[in-house]
Amino acid sequence: MLTSLFPRAHARYASLSILGGVLEELCSWLHARGFPPHAIRRHVEAAPFLDAFLRRRHIRSVGACTAVRLRACLPRQKRWRPQTAYALGRSLLTFLQERGELTSITPSRSEELIRVYRGYLQQVRGLAPRTARHHVTVTTDFLRFLKYDDRSHGLRDLQVAEIEAFVTAVSARMCRVTMQSTVAILRSFLRFLATRNDAATGLDTQIESPRQYRGERLARALPWDAVLAVLRAIDRSTVKGHRDYAMLLLIATYGLRASEIAALNLDDIMWRARVIRVPRPKVGTPLAVPLTDEVATALLDYLRCQSRDVAHRQLFLRVRIPRGPITAAAVSDAFDAWAAHAGIRMPTLGGPHCLRHSLAMHLLRQGTPLKTIGDLLGHRSVESTGIYLRLHLDDLRDVPLSLPIAAIRPTAEVQR
């Protein structure tokens, strides 16, 4: 394939000292992943730059290099050619990892402990993968702070003062709500260590958690006119516009989470029954909602203009190459971009999740029962849905008792 892409200059790329031996197979691999010829050609044109860059980092063979070292040696400059070389390097890294051609390294003590802890979180506690990753991130930072790999006795001599020092260090960059979550994760990890006799029992009870009062934070909701303005601002003349409109319309219609949008499958759209089966990674049980005409039209418009790869059954796919399913971060990016395009400048919108709150407030103002709103949003208790009552200002204005006329009249006379 290298010859067909560069009929005259293919020998120049094939003779590169580090990358020359893998470029031919890398081009075929990129083509199989959906990269068009012009994109592959642009990648390969950056190969001499990347080859020279790796040689300056004293790398002689990519096969004798570990994934960590190869990733650390990729160029990071913000110019055009280094950026293209970085994209080539990332593709090369994934290609070599799939083929198992990178040198494997023995995991460190902390990496091995984290591997066991991740399995405990998923298999014993049954946490969702995203929640488990958050736990792993905090515990990895904790072990790095304690220099666990250099401690000869592990954590058997762990002291409360060391734990408090870590909490103090991370509190400088976290708010009170995030700190409460971090302390809860740390307590869970200390209990896990105690069950393995890797740390003393009772350390988890020695950590003070920041106080957070129930209901102290209001839900972030946009006025319904602002929600409609965001949907109208989406340019539906492109594939990306059709996709983003369908995603945000689903959230505004059913109050779905970004993770639920990313997890939607083609089989979840039951066209004849006019039902959408929504997978809920956070809860674990699917939710069935009716397929409205407006949502069905938006989905059909997106599917008709989307060149779909049969290998992927996910509903929403990446627009850019390589083709593949989107993540929850893509839904957040789409909302942020179109909200800015619509002129919504409110601070701390909270991403597409504010559309979920906006829908709840819109239904509440229309007189929808609280239980019905909770069932649509997938709440397990009415208490979770009750937070929206605090934002229902029209009803809250009727709660205070009116002042007696005698108490108001002297004030009016003084003002005269």
Determine the Cα–Cα distance for residues 388 and 368; give it in Å rounded to an integer.
12
Considering only CA atoms, which of 243, 231, 230 is closest in space to residue 320?
243
Determine the Cα–Cα distance for residues 411 and 377; give it in Å rounded to an integer.
47
Q: How far is CA 310 from the centre of its chain?
A: 25
| 106 three-class SS | coil
Residue 46 near residue 88 (C-beta atoms within 8 A) = yes
Determine the Cα–Cα distance for residues 119 and 105; give it in Å rounded to an integer.
21
Determine the Cα–Cα distance for residues 380 and 46; give it in Å rounded to an integer.
53
List residues with catalytic annotation. 257, 282, 353, 356, 379, 388
Determine the Cα–Cα distance for residues 107 and 113; give it in Å rounded to an integer.
10
Q: What is the DSSP letter of 104?
A: P
DSSP-derived secondary structure for 274-317? TEEEE--TTTSS-EEEE--HHHHHHHHHHHHHS---TT--BSSB
Determine the Cα–Cα distance for residues 339 and 349; give it in Å rounded to an integer.
10
- Tokens 């208790």 label which residue? 381
Determine the Cα–Cα distance for residues 368 and 381; give it in Å rounded to an integer.
16
Instruction: Please return the burial class of 49, using the count of CB atoms within 10 Å of its CB with bins 0-12, 13-18 and 19+.
Output: middle
Determine the Cα–Cα distance for residues 350 and 325; give it in Å rounded to an integer.
23
| 270 three-class SS | strand
